[in-house]
Amino acid sequence: MTRLVRWSLLFVAFVVLTAAVAAASLYSMQDTLLYPGAQAALPLGDLEVQRPDGVMRGWTLHPDADDALVVFGGNGMSLSHYAPRLDACSKRAVYLMPYRGYEGQMGMPRERDFVADGIALVDQVRKTHAHVGILGISIGTGVATQVAAARRPDKLWLVTPYDTMKRVANDKMGGLPVSLVMRDTFDSAAAARTLRGVPVVVLQAIHDEVISAARTEALVRALPQPPTQWVHVDAGHNTILSSAEMCSALSE
């Protein structure tokens, strides 16, 4: 074996080992990156949803309203902190149930549980309200589209949505194939393709530093019909939540 061949093999081995270490690190860190959690502004309220492994809890705003809004927040979002804004903007009864592991909720965060818990919440809310809408924010749009595909809400609001979290991650990691090690992929586009007849409102932040315009546009293309509204807001990923456009969209 020539010296050149030996050095070539050593180089290939080094590259493979480096890639393996990087992949292992990303795999072990993904939950921390994807689910940083959030602290509650107040104790969990009277909302209770029975699940096979326990009781999920949360809060309800003006529960006597005829119509309801179920909210799925962002990955670092405290629903209890955002409750006053939702209370001011929506005339619907607003249901806020934090994800597992968030704001004192039981369990550990995982996409499949987010969706299953969300479906259970919508089923419960439908027992007492004439119409149920769904609001998804950031990573919550991936939950919202899947729950909407399963339960067909009267309206779906998507704030800073994306086609799939795999592509969001790849965009953010400089081309590294992080999607290969992701457990939770939040394939919003696949769910969106089934939403024929569901009115969808999309709010896109023009200066979004987390979700690129390409990811939102890909999600919109996946819908079987154009959104009833597609609002481009002069805001960033987080500041869109306090925008007049956001409040206006929820008040309709």
Q: How many of the other CB atoms lie within 10 Å of CB of 223?
A: 20
Q: Are 233 and 205 in contact (CB under 8 A)?
A: yes
Q: How many of the other CB atoms lie within 10 Å of CB of 39?
A: 10
The string of pLDDT tens digits covering residues 77-136 is 999 999 999 999 999 999 999 999 999 999 999 999 999 999 999 999 999 999 999 999
Q: Are 227 and 200 in contact (CB under 8 A)?
A: yes
**Same domain, yes or no, for 101 and 4?**
no
59: exposed, middle or buried (Cβ count in 10 Å: 0-12, 13-18, 19+): buried
**Same domain, yes or no, for 23 and 65?**
no
* Two tokens, residue 237: 């990923």
Please give the pLDDT value at position 2: 58
**Same domain, yes or no, for 51 and 170?**
yes
- Closest listed residue to residue 143, CA positions, set 115, 166, 124, 183: 115
Residue with the larger pLDDT of the pair 15 and 74: 74
**Per-residue pLDDT band at 214 (split at 50, 70, 90):** very high
**Same domain, yes or no, for 9 and 106?**
no
**Same domain, yes or no, for 15 and 95?**
no
Please give the pLDDT value at position 31: 65
Helix, strand, coil percent values for the chain (each to nearest 5): 45, 20, 35
**Same domain, yes or no, for 1 and 76?**
no
Q: Are 119 and 144 in contact (CB under 8 A)?
A: no
User: CA 146, CA 189: separation in Å to the nearest integer?
Assistant: 9
Range of the structural domain that residue 13 is part of: 1-34
- Closest listed residue to residue 78, CA positions, set 30, 111, 44: 44
| Helices 79-89 & 244-251 angle (0-180, nearest 10) | 60
**Same domain, yes or no, for 172 and 187?**
yes
Cβ neighbors of 114 (< 8 A, separation 6 or more) are 72, 99, 100, 143
**Same domain, yes or no, for 246 and 162?**
yes
**Same domain, yes or no, for 47 and 89?**
yes
In this prediction the pTM is: 0.88
**Same domain, yes or no, for 110 and 225?**
yes
* Two tokens, residue 200: 């969808």
**Same domain, yes or no, for 16 and 75?**
no
Q: How many domains would you assign to the chain?
A: 2
At position 112, the amino acid (one-letter code) is: R
The string of pLDDT tens digits covering residues 161-210 is 999 999 998 887 665 566 667 889 999 999 999 999 999 999 999 999 99
The mean pLDDT of 30-41, rounded to a whole number, is: 83
Q: How far is CA 154 from the centre of its chain?
A: 19
The CATH number covering residue 105 comes to 3.40.50.1820
**Same domain, yes or no, for 143 and 114?**
yes
